[in-house]
Amino acid sequence: MGSSEWKKYKLGDVTEWRSGGTPSKQNDKYWNGNIPWVSAKTLTGNRISDSSIKITAEGLSNGSRLANIDSILLLVRGSGLFNGIPVAIVKKQVAFNQDIKEIIAQKNLLLPEFLLYWIESSTKKLNDKLEETGIGAGKFDTEILKNLDIAIPDFTTQQRIVTFIESFDDKIELNRKTNQTLEAIAQTLFREMCVPKGGELPEGWRIKTLGDLIEPISVTHKMRQEKIIFLNTSDILEGSVLHNNYSIVSTLPGQAKKSIKRDDILFSEIRPANKRYAFVNFDPDEYVVSTKLMVLRSKGDVSPYLIYCFLTNNQTLSLLQQKAETRSGTFPQITFSQLKDIELLIPNNKILKELTQNLQSLYQTIFSNNKENQTLTALRDSLLPKLMSGQIAIDNLPFP
């Protein structure tokens, strides 16, 4: 079916829109219940089945409302609009607040998943509408959104497009869950093998400070090329580098200075609890990083994988966050002088060798999965608008 045969509608003519609400936050009886409650903060990912915030049935009856299964939740107000257009399909009944609109697809015409992917593919169009309605206000005029044109193919074509895109999403989600498991195994191995049994330090074990094992590196990148990849604190998260986009050197901010090497650890000085850290498991010659990122390099006594495991476990991150909050300044910030005195136990050489091999294997798999997800996400995001507009026919793609 060619795109010329797709029927055109106004979005508002093929959908029903409903608003959410918020119960009084002063009433404790409304909160800490068992009903997931979605707000601007918790509308993450494109599928919703839970939320970190929950309300009670009493809270629901005093201001909020339940979303229908397979309806679409779209953020229409709040600072989250400046970082994309948060949208998700409801896969388990949740409540939602007034910053979010529920969009229900017309049955027998529009698949909910097709609508979800159409909204995702229309980010530029939606951003343009956001600017029209006043980007300073950080909100959509939903009547303008309802007047957007949407072209809809037959159900069979919709389902084939949905299945094709879902094959990407499923693989990305599988890699993400696999990494969660592998990370938990790494942390468990570290705790089991770096904590001696009994009260005394076994023979061959030793106590070291981080300052004994790593050093901060601040080598200015010479930047002889015209373009380079710049990493700021927001460009790394939980071990991953989030992009590999080139920037023109002459346009870079003054904080783009530090050179890095393979096996370095990048760790944000600001708010350690936000988990803005990454392991350099790639050739970084064309990368420069912000002065707000600590570049930590192993001195060679122990593997950087072990140091990375220690630095990124929840207990260490909590300790670093506490230290950061003792600093007077605009943001909670950590420095190497605060980090270097933290102690850790190093087991005897036999255990250390086994632990290092296991951690290296686990983290290399995690980093490989992250890289695959970046590739899959880029390909998905490139194909999505072309598929949703009929520019590429689903029949011309390998069907999963």
Domain extent at residue 244: 206-346
198-202, 353-357, 386-390: least confident range: 198-202
Same domain? For 128 and 237 the reply is no
pLDDT over 80 at 26, yes or no: no
Q: What is the mean pLDDT of residues 313-334?
A: 88
314-325 and 304-311 are packed helices; what angle lies between their axes, rounded to 10 degrees? 60
Q: Which pLDDT score, from 0 to 100, does residue 195 have?
A: 76
Spatial contact of 270 and 332, defined as CB atoms under 8 Å apart:
yes
Same domain? For 222 and 111 the reply is no
180 occurs within a structural domain: no
Same domain? For 334 and 220 the reply is yes
Q: Which of 346, 373, 395 is the last residue of a domain?
A: 346
181 phi and psi angles, rounded to 5 deg: -65, -45
62 occurs within a structural domain: yes
pLDDT tens digits, 372-382: 999 999 999 99
Q: Find the farthest-apart pair of alpha carbons in the chain and give their distance in angstroms, rounded.
A: 77
Cross-strand partners of 168: none
pLDDT tens digits, 172-222: 999 999 999 999 999 999 988 887 777 788 899 999 999 999 999 999 999
Q: Is 300 exposed, middle or buried (0-12, 13-18, 19+ CB in 10 A)?
A: exposed
397 occurs within a structural domain: no
Same domain? For 147 and 224 the reply is no
Same domain? For 91 and 212 the reply is no
Confidence of residue 384 (pLDDT cuts 50, 70, 90): very high
Q: Which pLDDT score, from 0 to 100, does residue 127 have?
A: 75
As for how many domains the chain has, the answer is 2
pLDDT over 70 at 76, yes or no: yes
